[in-house]
Structure 1
Amino acid sequence: MYKRFLLPIDGSPPSEYAAAVGLALAKRLGASVVFAHVIEPHRYRDLHNYEEALERARTVGRALLEQWARKANHARVPCDVQLTSTEPENRPGVAEALMDVGVAHGCDLVVMGTHGRTGLPRMLLGSVAERMARLAPTPLLLVRGHDTKPTLFKHILVATDGSTFSELALQHADALAGALKAKLSVVYVVPDLTQLYVSAGRAWMFADPAQLQAQLAQEQSHLRAQGEYILKEAAERCTHAKQVHTLLREAGHHLIGERIREVADEIKADLIVMGTHGHTGLRKFLLGSVAEDVAQQAHQPILLVRNPAALTHPDESHLPPPGER
Structure 2
Amino acid sequence: MKTILIPVDFSKESEKALSVGAIIANRIAAKLVLTHMTDLNNNQEREGATDVISKKSSYSKLVAKRFDDFLQKDFLTGVLVEPLMQHHIDFNSISSLAEDISADLIIMGSKGKKELAEGVTGSNTEKVVRSSKVPVLVVKGNELNFSSDRILFVSDFNEESIDAYKRVCGIAEMLQSKMNFLYINLPGEAFKSTTKMDEVLFHFFSKAEHPDPVGAIKQVNRIADYSIKEGIYNFSNLTATDIIAIPTHGSNDISNTFHESISEDVANHSIIPVLTLRI
TM-score (norm 2): 0.76
The residue number in structure 1 matching 2:8 is: 9
> Is the aligned partner of 1:246 residue 2:220?
yes
Give the alignment of 1:245-264 within 5 angstroms.
245-251=219-225, 254-264=226-236
Pick closer, same or farther for the CA change 1:65–1:128 going to 2, 3 Å.
same
Match of 1:186 in 2: 181
One-letter code aligned to 2:12: P
Partner in structure 2 of residue 83 of structure 1: 85
Instruction: Structure 2: state its 5+ residue gaps.
Output: 43-50, 113-121, 213-217
Any conservation in 2 of the 1:184–1:245 contact (CA below 8 Å)? Answer: no
How far off its partner does 1:265 sit? 1.1
State the alpha-carbon separation in 2 of the partners of residues 172 and 82 from structure 1: 27
Structure 1 residues 202-234: Cα deviation after superposition (integer angstroms, max 9, x where no partner): xxxxxxxxxxxxxx8xx6455444456468768
Structure 1 segment 73-222 matched on structure 2, within 5 A: 74-86=76-88, 93-115=89-111, 127-147=123-143, 149=145, 151-192=146-187, 194=188, 220-222=193-195
The offset of 1:147, in angstroms, is 2.4
Aligned match of 1:265:
237
8 Å Cα contact 1:14/1:145 also seen in 2: yes
Q: Deviations over 1:57-95 (max 9, x none)?
A: 534422233345555995322232111121xxxxxx431
User: Structure 1 pair 231/277, CA: closer, same or farther in 2 (3 Å)?
Assistant: same
| % identity of equivalent residues | 22
Q: Distance in 2 between matches of 1:160 and 1:96?
A: 25
Return the offset for 1:106: 2.0
Deviation at 1:142, TM superposition (A): 0.7
TM-score, normalised via structure 1 length: 0.66
Query: SS of 1:172's equivalent?
Result: helix
RMSD across aligned positions (CA)? 3.7
Aligned residue number for residue 30 of structure 1: 29
Larger radius of gyration: 1
Give the 5 Å matches for 1:274-293. Answer: 274-277=246-249, 283=255, 285-287=257-259, 289-293=261-265
Deviation at 1:31, TM superposition (A): 1.3
2:183 and 2:144 map into 1 onto residues whose CA distance is 33
Q: How many residues align?
A: 255
Do the aligned partners of residues 288 and 60 (structure 1) sit closer, same or farther apart at CA in structure 2, a change above 3 Å counting?
farther
> Structure 2 counterpart of 1:184, which letter?
M
CA drift at 1:35 = 0.8
CA positional deviation for 1:115: 2.6
| Structure 1 position 146, deviation (Å) | 3.1
Which amino acid is 1:115 matched to?
A: K
